[in-house]
A and B are shown apart, each in its own frame.
Chain A
Amino acid sequence: MSTVLNVKALSKSFGGLRALNDVDLQVNSGEIAALIGPNGAGKTTFFNCITGIYEPTDGDVFFTPLGATECRVNGMKPNSVTELGMARTFQNIRLFKNMTVLENVMVARHCRTKAGILDALLRPPHVKREEKENIEKSYELLKYIGLNKHYNDLACNLPYGDQRRLEIARAMATEPSLLLLDEPAAGMNPQETASLKELVLDIRDKFNLAILLIEHDMSMVMSLSERIYVMEYGCLISQGTPEEVSKDPQVIKAYLGEESHA
């Protein structure tokens, strides 16, 4: 089993606030790992640091795409990281709202297609073919996710749960080796959450990806993930299998404890 993502001593400061403090984290190929912790623990900041949206203050992020050699990605631009094979969704949905559902997915295939300005103006046969292929592949993905009925609707007209699923479809369209999901079940009803769980498992098996998941829904985290990392105040306080983590007194105190009182 090889490591896809290897993060070493990652730190990030916003002025005086240390949002991430010496975080070490590994994700192996074909694995579903989860990153949990109370609100404000720094989970989203962690995603932003490894995808190049923020530049880490300290530490290293090594990423090994499928069938490629390891490379250090911190300091790289977000689009280059995506091109290498790391795709993500956002906690606060960031769809391209005034574009259609199909267009949203087609945009995400930007780094897997090549047509330039002259190609767009002259439309030679190979560009037409590429465009057609882009439409077909994007549509296939929508069908897989179950949104093909709405392919010509504007993304902002989708129901909330479908918008979250569209974000996943869009991330998948970049052909990633590692998929990062930031609270994919937030705001979903129980049925939607259940079908999302199926989807995440199926994606992992079908596309042979590694998945790193931020989630507050404990039943989902416990049943999906092979390994769990727990953060609090920017520090990693525990890691291990779901059983190990749920028995860790520190975790119970910091996180699960809150829930049992509630």
Chain B
Amino acid sequence: MQGLKQSIITSLWFMFLTFPIMVVRVNTIENTVEWRWMNLAYVGVGIFILSFVWRWALARKEAKQYETETTDKPKKQLWLSRAMEEPAVAKPALAAIFALSVAMPFLVSTYQTNIFISFLLYVILGLGLNIIVGVAGLLFLGHAAFYAIGAYSYALLNHYFGIGFWVALPLGGILACLGGILLAFPVLRLRGDYLAIVTLGFGEIIRLVLENWSDLTGGPSGISNIDRPGLFGMELSVADANVYIYYIVLALAIITMIAVQRLKNSRIGRALQALREDEIACQAMGIDRVNVKVMAFGLGTAWAGFAGVIFAAKTTFINPASFTFMESAIILSIVVLGGMGSNLGVILGSAFLVLMPEYLRAFSEYRMILFAAAMVLMMVFRPQGLIAPKGRKYHVDDPDLIKEGDA
């Protein structure tokens, strides 16, 4: 009853708010005012129903929370992450996905291949940022700057010295990594919002330097005619070069996934997680805070450098407009949406934020609205992200434990 009343008030309020834009229309040709009363009814009924659904979902969520708090049951995982824990499911699934991604360029058009290249680039960027934000818990808003460092390293080296892709690839990664380490020192003492603001500022500084140092970087018009990666000196057609780049990105994405996974489950990775959980306890357990923070930045930004080099090689043209704050925000959204610290989450997040908009071109007018709505819904109903962090499970052989379990 209470809910009914609230829903009616909400829908009346929305009808009032949207009245000027939804109902009144001035016909400038005939100089008359049209009153579209049907629209008012649509808004009213629509909001009424939405408000009901919203309240039902919230109530369900609270009931669930109450249940887990009182019954001590472990939090429910998304079915996908549970399935991935079963080796019988995970292995064939991974093999199938791998086979599919290898065959991809021959199954789809060049246009589609291009979309998948950018999807994989975002996966790499997301995995890198995940080390900083998800694993080490440092809110970092300047990832696009390191993407730019990678891209411009290759573009400039290629433009001025004719250095090829395969030499530039490691160099771009190393330069971005060094940039990350340099940035780490001044922000050592900062946490949370303050760190976010400084890294955001750093990102903008890099972009502005690229934009204004016209003699070197070509300013806003950027650098064009960057060489595509060479394949033993063969000249590749544009379509073939695209396929070739697809395989390079795929390989790098797989390498990144394995590397990040290994890092996360190593001595260093655990130290990073400890830093995220509690900085003081982390130090008290013998972990050097400075070391670990510098490592987090360097390890995270290096991947952005690699991705940047590939991006430059793919588009053969770069300018500062590709590395705005919007880019950092999208990469951060990928990490947050997917679930902080989870690699599978990053892939899902990129799929959601990069692939979906491409395939839902029909809705492109409402893209930003859908994007925002998705984020708000996430924050309310699944703040831990699609894949919730749950800690690495180890297996210890202990006969006593099994006996106790049987008894």
A39–B267 Cα distance when bound, in Å, is 38
- Name the residue of chain B whose CB is nearest to the CB of A122: B262
Query: How far in angstroms is the closest Cβ of chain A from B268?
Result: 5
From the candidates B283, B295, B398, name the one contacting A78 in the complex (CB within 8 A). B283
Task: Check: B348 CB closer than 8 A to any chain A CB.
Answer: no
Query: How far in angstroms is the closest Cβ of chain A from B389?
Result: 6
Task: Check: A99 CB closer than 8 A to any chain B CB.
Answer: yes
List A contacts of B259 (CB < 8 A). 121
Total residues of chain A contacting the partner, CB 8 A: 51
Query: How far in angstroms is the closest Cβ of chain B from A206?
Result: 18
B286 contacts A152, C-beta separation under 8 Å: no
Task: Check: A250 CB closer than 8 A to any chain B CB.
Answer: no
Q: Within residues 152 to 200 of chain B, which ones have a CB less than 8 A from any CB in chain A?
A: none
- Name the residue of chain A whose CB is nearest to the CB of B341: A98
A139–B395 Cα distance when bound, in Å, is 10
Q: Mark A7-37, 1 if CB is under 8 A from B, else 0.
A: 0000000000000000000000000000000
From the candidates A100, A121, A131, name the one contacting B391 in the complex (CB within 8 A). A100
Knowing A103-B391, A170-B285 are in contact, say whether A117-B268 is a contact too (CB < 8 A): yes
A88–B398 Cα distance when bound, in Å, is 28
B285 contacts A110, C-beta separation under 8 Å: yes
Knowing A99-B277, A116-B268 are in contact, say whether A123-B262 is a contact too (CB < 8 A): yes
A79–B283 Cα distance when bound, in Å, is 5
From the candidates B266, B277, B278, name the one contacting A115 in the complex (CB within 8 A). B266
B390 contacts A154, C-beta separation under 8 Å: yes
B263 contacts A121, C-beta separation under 8 Å: yes
Query: How far in angstroms is the closest Cβ of chain B from A151?
Result: 7
From the candidates B284, B389, B401, name the one contacting A88 in the complex (CB within 8 A). B284
From the candidates B287, B392, B398, name the one contacting A110 in the complex (CB within 8 A). B287
From the candidates B269, B285, B392, name the one contacting A100 in the complex (CB within 8 A). B392
- Name the residue of chain A whose CB is nearest to the CB of B389: A98
Task: Check: B271 CB closer than 8 A to any chain A CB.
Answer: yes
List B contacts of A72 (CB < 8 A). none
List B contacts of A153 (CB < 8 A). 74
A120 contacts B393, C-beta separation under 8 Å: no
Query: How far in angstroms is the closest Cβ of chain A from B345?
Result: 14
A87–B285 Cα distance when bound, in Å, is 7
- Name the residue of chain A whose CB is nearest to the CB of B278: A94
From the candidates B278, B288, B401, name the one contacting A96 in the complex (CB within 8 A). B278
- Name the residue of chain B whose CB is nearest to the CB of A78: B283
List B contacts of A110 (CB < 8 A). 267, 270-271, 274, 285-287
B299 contacts A117, C-beta separation under 8 Å: yes
Knowing A78-B284, A111-B287, A174-B286 are in contact, say whether A120-B277 is a contact too (CB < 8 A): no
A90–B285 Cα distance when bound, in Å, is 12
Q: Mark B276-315, 1 if CB is under 8 A from A, else 0.
A: 1110111111111100000100010000000000000000
Task: Check: B79 CB closer than 8 A to any chain A CB.
Answer: no
A99 contacts B263, C-beta separation under 8 Å: no
List A contacts of B278 (CB < 8 A). 94-97
| Inter-chain residue pair count (beta carbon < 8 A) | 136
A52–B269 Cα distance when bound, in Å, is 24
A51 contacts B284, C-beta separation under 8 Å: yes
B268 contacts A107, C-beta separation under 8 Å: no
List A contacts of B328 (CB < 8 A). none
- Name the residue of chain A whose CB is nearest to the CB of B401: A148
A103–B283 Cα distance when bound, in Å, is 16
List B contacts of A83 (CB < 8 A). 286
Q: Within residues 140 to 160 of chain A, which ones have a CB less than 8 A from any CB in chain B?
A: 143, 148-149, 151-154, 157
B391 contacts A154, C-beta separation under 8 Å: yes
A137–B260 Cα distance when bound, in Å, is 25
A134–B277 Cα distance when bound, in Å, is 21
| Residue from the set B262, B285, B394 with the largest chain A CB neighbour count within 10 Å | B285
List A contacts of B274 (CB < 8 A). 96, 99, 107, 110
Task: Check: B343 CB closer than 8 A to any chain A CB.
Answer: no
- Name the residue of chain B whose CB is nearest to the CB of A106: B270
List A contacts of B276 (CB < 8 A). 98
Query: How far in angstroms is the closest Cβ of chain A from B334?
Result: 20
B286 contacts A82, C-beta separation under 8 Å: yes
A113 contacts B267, C-beta separation under 8 Å: yes
A249–B155 Cα distance when bound, in Å, is 80
A102–B391 Cα distance when bound, in Å, is 10
B295 contacts A117, C-beta separation under 8 Å: yes
- Name the residue of chain A whose CB is nearest to the CB of B340: A98
List B contacts of A129 (CB < 8 A). none
List B contacts of A174 (CB < 8 A). 285-286
Query: How far in angstroms is the closest Cβ of chain A from B135?
Result: 11
B401 contacts A108, C-beta separation under 8 Å: no
Task: Check: B118 CB closer than 8 A to any chain A CB.
Answer: no
List A contacts of B287 (CB < 8 A). 79, 107, 110-111
Q: Jot down 29 A-B pairs with beta carbons below 8 A, ordered by A.
A: A77-B283, A79-B286, A79-B287, A87-B284, A90-B280, A95-B277, A95-B278, A95-B281, A96-B282, A97-B278, A99-B391, A103-B270, A103-B273, A103-B392, A107-B270, A108-B285, A110-B267, A110-B274, A110-B286, A111-B287, A120-B263, A120-B267, A121-B262, A139-B396, A148-B401, A149-B404, A152-B393, A153-B74, A170-B285
A-B pairs with the 10 shortest C-beta distances?
Answer: A111-B286, A120-B266, A96-B277, A94-B281, A100-B391, A82-B286, A78-B283, A115-B267, A108-B285, A107-B274
Q: Which residues of A contact B (CB under 8 A)?
A: 51-53, 77-79, 82-83, 87-88, 90, 94-100, 102-103, 106-108, 110-117, 119-121, 123, 130-131, 134-136, 139, 143, 148-149, 151-154, 157, 170, 174
Apart from the given pairs A78-B283, A115-B266, A157-B74, 7 other A-B contacts in the complex at a CB distance below 8 Å: A53-B284, A99-B277, A100-B394, A103-B270, A107-B271, A111-B286, A120-B262
